[in-house]
Copies of this chain bind each other. A is one copy, B any other.
Amino acid sequence: VAQPMRLSTADLDSFMLRHTDANIFRESDVAGAIYQVESGCVRLVKYCACGRRCVVAFAMPGDLFGLGSQGPEEIDAEAACDTRISKLNPTGLKTLMDSEPTRALTIIDAAHGGQDHHNEHFLVVSQGHADEKVAWFLHRMTAHFSAQAKSNDHPVTFDLPMPRNDIAEHLGMKFETVSREISRLKELGIIETIGLRKIKVLKPRDLAGRASLDAHENRQKAERGPVCEWMPEALS
């Protein structure tokens, strides 16, 4: 979700392992704890009564979650595959806040989801077509594993820790469609699959090009008016 600062073992309170599909949060948990993914992958899921779900975000190794809209009251956190997680309790957080206030605030922000790509994700899901959605997702995964892949355009190989269905629910589509779009990218020679879960991105730049929903420049500002046109006294 967000990885501006990694918690060190010295900070942490407890450690746990969750097998695929197991819940991270439990009723006994106090709200206000911060979780860090050590290995594996956590999916943050919103359910509705009719059984439909959507994966609001994936937390990859190094990512934090647990506060605000990504907290236990708001959302379910489930292991997308066998996953190790470490936890910082509210008391530990308070200690950290005393000793290193600036760092603590960064961590708190990150555990809220860091607002990093929320709007972009929303844009993709609400406006993108199937091919753009999948390309965007794989592009983001590529960027997660290799920051410079887009610029130097070298092949990148990585593991997709989650099943196709999780990807589908993250992108607001069905897993068959995800599968089809992955196949199409293979036909186009942009990616390869190794086994079932491993992806080799042959042309990171082409992939990024197909995910081209990100850019939000060249928006011209609309009509400008004076900044102050009324005074509060004028209110009814």
Contact = CB atoms under 8 A, between A and B. Distances in A.
Contact of A17 (B19, B84, B230): B230
Interface in A179-236: 212-219, 221-232, 235
Given A69-B118, A127-B172, A172-B127, A216 B15 contact: no
Given A46-B122, A48-B127, A84-B230, 9 more contacts: A16-B227, A16-B229, A19-B225, A21-B222, A21-B223, A22-B225, A26-B224, A49-B218, A125-B125
Contacts of A214: 48-49
A148 interface: no
Nearest to A28: B227
B115 A48 contact: no
A76 B119 CA distance: 11
Given A125-B126, A127-B172, A12 B232 contact: yes
| Count of this chain's copies in the oligomeric assembly | 2
Interface of A: 9, 12, 14-19, 21-23, 26-27, 38, 46-50, 52-54, 56, 68-69, 74-76, 78, 84, 86, 112, 115, 118-120, 122-123, 125-127, 169, 171-172, 212-219, 221-232, 235
B221 A49 contact: no
A216 B56 CA distance: 14
A123 B222 contact: no
Report, nearest first, the 5 A-B pairs whose CB atoms are least far apart: A126-B172, A49-B215, A17-B229, A69-B115, A9-B232
A228 B48 contact: no
A222 B84 CA distance: 17
19 contacts: A9-B232, A15-B230, A15-B231, A16-B225, A16-B226, A18-B225, A21-B223, A23-B221, A26-B221, A47-B219, A48-B212, A49-B213, A49-B214, A52-B123, A53-B127, A74-B115, A75-B119, A76-B219, A118-B118
